[in-house]
């Protein structure tokens, strides 16, 4: 695709006017200017808490649309506000799949370098840190953990990461791998310098057999280890328990580096190892970091900007970074080199694409039109994944994380699907099934998740509106959304020359008029 070029005006770009000198943003290949990724601060929007939102974001160390994100964890285990700028301690480097604190997380575990054999649970292992010693980029995160005198760094791939820890001189240096509570597994293979396991912690939207398998491989010999179930030490080399975690120990010299290569899979332990070997392999830290930055430059560089201030470029690219995180890939690459996914809808491992962690109520107006215009090849995969979601569950998702979640109103999957079809983005083999999915969603609601499908469809399809006294909340909003979604489906029906469907849908799209009472 060709790079798009925009003239950015200060009033349109950010609410505050900086005094920075005007300069042109980097264009691909212009080595005299900062790279697009260098404008991004991942800390923007993280000064939030439950009572007052100024963004509700966390500093995601990830690749665009990557399956796994990593973030420093300041909140307690299970807290949706995983990182808050005002916090002073870090409890671990957490693999996260959280799209929103209100939706919360799934498949999470953390890794924390420590000094001391008793620094294991999240309270005792946490360390004070300062933002002055923190570097937060999309492709790299670094922080000095003052209580342990350890510098921790991380660089991501789509399904793996590499971590580098700079230890002090100590015979009690170690790394804690916490698989979290609500059912987890840890196994240590000291002769292979490797820890494997899984976490099953989630916030809903998963089948009963849900697991996030992980593998952690060190470049140093594991001199000692101790497995715990919560705070209780247990013997042996493995544990399946309520809350499995392990501390592996090293003896380090001052400034000695310990590298951990980490990957995970929703499919199997074997697939987690494949993801690690495919995406990291024997590459060193700097190589993984450089590849990650290059990928961000490629994605962010699809849009070049000029005529603004340094502050405006930071705002623009930090926002574009957020816009290219979700929906995330939920597929992996199998042994045959083809995409395969664990279905969050039926628990089976199936061929093809799958994306998740997005709520269409929030994103159909802006994010998905952006994808169609600037990143159509990505949205082609997303649309193929939506077709698979329908095949596997009988519904298009409205809020997926990773499967159907109960949140917000409307049937906005119709808008997301219709826009891609009309712009020629959708893979040809998926158009028919997605059209069927949109029509099907007009007349049913998910039996367990009322925000999926159309709650109140029986009223809307007969009366032309959802009445206020039918025991269905947001009845006016639902009527407005359904009418708009019918208009969207109607445009696809016209394109596909479904004349009768188009006429029926065009008529239904006028149902918004039924909300007006001429007397009042």
Average pLDDT over residues 494-501: 98
What's the average model confidence in pLDDT over 55-82?
A: 97
Give backbone dihedrals phi and psi of 137, rounded to 5 degrees, phi first. -120, 160
Q: Is the pLDDT of residue 3 over 50?
A: no
**CA 428 – CA 413 distance, rounded (Å):** 18
> How large is the average pLDDT for residues 174-202?
98
pLDDT for residue 12 is more than 80:
no
The CATH code belonging to domain 326-515 is 1.20.1050.60
Question: In this predicted structure, what is the pLDDT of residue 520?
Answer: 83
Average pLDDT over residues 396-407: 97
49: pLDDT confidence band, cut at 50, 70 and 90? confident
51 or 42: which carries more pLDDT confidence?
Answer: 42
What residue ranges do the domains of the chain occupy?
Answer: 4-299, 326-515
What mean pLDDT value characterizes the chain? 94
Spatial CB neighbours of 167, under 8 Å, sequence gap ≥ 6: 113, 115, 150, 173, 250, 252, 255, 256, 257, 258
H or E stretch at 269: helix 269-279
State how far the Cα of 387 lies from the Cα of 395, in Å rounded to an integer. 9
24-37 residue pLDDT tens:
444 544 566 789 99
Q: What percent of the chain has pLDDT over 90?
A: 91
Which pLDDT belongs to residue 31?
A: 62
For the cut 50, the answer to whether the pLDDT of residue 463 exceeds it is yes
pLDDT at 224 over 90: yes
With b for 16 or more beta-carbon neighbours within 10 A and e for fewer, the 333-348 pattern comes to beeeeebbbbbbbeee
| For residues 247-264, average pLDDT | 98
For residue 422, pLDDT beyond 80: yes
Q: What's the confidence (pLDDT) of residue 51?
A: 87
The tokens of 23 are what? 């300069």
Per-residue model confidence (pLDDT) at position 52: 81
Of the pLDDT bands very low, low, confident and very high (cuts 50, 70, 90), residue 212 is very high
**By percentage, how much of the chain surpasses pLDDT 70?**
94
pLDDT of residue 518: 87
Sign of CA dihedral 388, 390, 393, 398: positive
Pairing of β 69-73 and β 4-7: unpaired
Q: Are 93 and 140 in contact (CB under 8 A)?
A: no
CATH, range 4-299: 2.70.98.10
Q: What is the pLDDT of residue 23?
A: 38
Which among 474, 356, 372, 459 is positioned nearest to 415, based on CA atoms? Answer: 372
Residue with the bigger pLDDT between 484 and 29: it is 484
pLDDT of 88 above 70: yes
Residues 152-163 have a mean pLDDT of 98
Which pLDDT value is given to residue 18? Answer: 32
Mean pLDDT, range 86-102, rounded to an integer = 97
pLDDT of residue 400: 98
Asked whether the predicted pLDDT for residue 10 surpasses 70, the reply is: no
Provide the pLDDT for residue 470.
Answer: 95
Q: pLDDT value at position 362?
A: 85
Q: How far is CA 469 from CA 424, 436, 482, in A?
A: 42, 31, 18
């Amino acid at each position: 695709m060709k790079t798009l070029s925009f003239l950015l005006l200060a009033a349109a770009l950010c609410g505050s006017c900086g005094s920075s000198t005007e300069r042109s943003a980097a264009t691909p290949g212009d080595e005299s200017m900062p790279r697009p990724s260098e404008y991004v601060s991942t800390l923007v929007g993280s000064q939030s808490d439950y009572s007052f939102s100024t963004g509700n974001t966390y500093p995601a160390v990830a690749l665009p649309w990557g399956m796994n994100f990593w973030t420093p964890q300041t909140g307690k285990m299970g807290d949706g506000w995983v990182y808050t700028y005002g916090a002073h301690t870090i409890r671990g480097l957490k693999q996260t799949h959280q799209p929103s604190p209100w939706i919360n997380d799934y498949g999470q575990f953390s890794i924390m370098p420590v000094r001391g054999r008793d620094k294991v649970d999240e309270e005792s292992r946490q360390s004070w840190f300062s933002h002055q010693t923190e570097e937060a980029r999309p492709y790299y995160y670094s922080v000095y953990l003052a209580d342990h005198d350890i510098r921790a760094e991380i660089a991501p791939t789509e399904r793996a990461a590499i971590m580098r820890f700079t230890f002090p001189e100590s015979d009690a240096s170690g790394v804690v791998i916490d698989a979290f509570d609500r059912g987890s597994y840890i196994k240590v293979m000291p002769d292979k310098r490797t820890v494997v396991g899984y976490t099953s912690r989630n916030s809903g939207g998963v089948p009963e057999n849900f697991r996030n398998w992980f593998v952690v491989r060190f470049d140093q010999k594991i001199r000692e280890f101790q497995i715990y179930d919560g705070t209780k030490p247990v013997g042996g080399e493995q544990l399946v328990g309520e809350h499995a975690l392990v501390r592996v120990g090293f003896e380090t010299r001052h400034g000695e580096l310990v590298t951990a290569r980490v990957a995970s899979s929703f499919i199997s332990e074997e697939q987690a190892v494949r993801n690690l070997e495919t995406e990291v392999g024997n590459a060193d830290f700097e190589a993984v970091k450089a590849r990650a930055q290059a990928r961000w430059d490629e994605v962010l560089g699809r849009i070049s900007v000029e005529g603004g201030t340094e502050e405006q470029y930071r705002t623009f690219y930090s926002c574009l970074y957020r816009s290219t995180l979700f929906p995330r890939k939920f597929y992996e690459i199998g042994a045959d080199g083809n995409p395969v996914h664990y279905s969050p809808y039926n628990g089976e491992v199936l061929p093809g694409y799958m994306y998740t962690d997005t709520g269409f109520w929030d994103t159909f107006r802006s994010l998905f039109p952006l994808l169609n215009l600037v990143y159509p090849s990505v949205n082609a995969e997303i649309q193929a994944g939506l077709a698979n979601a329908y095949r596997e569950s009988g519904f298009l998702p409205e809020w997926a994380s990773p499967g159907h979640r109960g949140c917000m109103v409307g049937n906005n999957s119709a808008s997301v699907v219709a826009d891609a079809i009309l712009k020629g983005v959708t893979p040809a083999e998926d158009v028919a099934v997605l059209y069927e999915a949109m029509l099907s969603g007009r007349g049913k609601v998910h039996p367990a998740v009322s925000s999926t499908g159309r709650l109140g469809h029986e009223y809307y399809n007969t009366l032309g509106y959802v009445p206020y006294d039918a025991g269905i909340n947001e009845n006016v909003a639902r009527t407005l959304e359904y009418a708009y979604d019918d208009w969207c489906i109607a445009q696809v029906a016209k394109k596909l020359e479904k004349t009768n469907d188009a006429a029926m849908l065009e008529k239904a799209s006028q149902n918004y008029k039924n909300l007006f009472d001429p007397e009042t």
